[in-house]
Amino acid sequence: MASPDQRAQFELLAPLLAREGVDVWTATVADLDAGMDRARQRHAAAVARVRAVLDAHARDDISAAGALLEELELTAEATPPPIPDALTVATRFAQLAQTVAPQLPVEVIDAVRDSARLPDVPDGMAALCEATLLDCDAATGLRTVIREHGPADALYAAAAMTAAVFRHWARHTGQEMGELVSAHA
């Protein structure tokens, strides 16, 4: 059984562990460790999927990027969520956009916001852009999109927003999108 001090340390990670089906206050140390291992695997798989989608965009291979996202879309409502899963990947996309937001020139942010208002973009992309790029609050933006449109749309909105960030940033700097992705994603 875990000591109160051990549980307090794991309490900081409670949201990650809850996603893995582990209750911080009732789980054994072995269950807590196993939950952390699954959370690490989920994170690594999500990061790899984000890179794969952005790399496909950098090659202008939109069909490959779409295929990767469609595969994830099927995991949006799965219980328990497989590894990788749509919600974790959507979160990683939004966090990446939030991380680079302070480095983006105003022109890039404006171009991404304008592209998010086009009629054929995923539902919720405009709201996610506002929260992530202007307020640097991807978590709130993603929760809003999930609540209003569902986790599958949140995945597409976060992927489209982040790809647009790197595409417009590459145009602004004159760098290849692949270089920017390699440097920041």
DSSP state of 135: S
Are 161 and 116 within 8 A, CB to CB? yes
| Mean pLDDT, rounded, of the chain | 90
Flag whether pLDDT at 5 surpasses 80.
Answer: no
Q: Which tokens go with 5?
A: 């001090």
Burial of 174 (C-beta count, 10 Å sphere; 0-12/13-18/19+): exposed
Tell me the three state secondary structure of residue 27.
coil
Given pLDDT bands bounded at 50, 70 and 90, which one contains residue 76? confident
pLDDT tens per residue across span 24-40: 778 888 888 888 888 88
What pTM, to 2 d.p., does this model score? 0.86
Are 159 and 93 within 8 A, CB to CB? yes
The DSSP H or E segment spanning 79 is: none
pLDDT tens per residue across span 86-130: 999 999 999 999 999 999 999 999 999 999 999 999 999 999 999
Flag whether pLDDT at 10 surpasses 80.
Answer: no
Work out whether the CA dihedral 156, 126, 96, 167 comes out positive or negative: positive
Given pLDDT bands bounded at 50, 70 and 90, which one contains residue 85? very high
Mean pLDDT of 128-133: 95
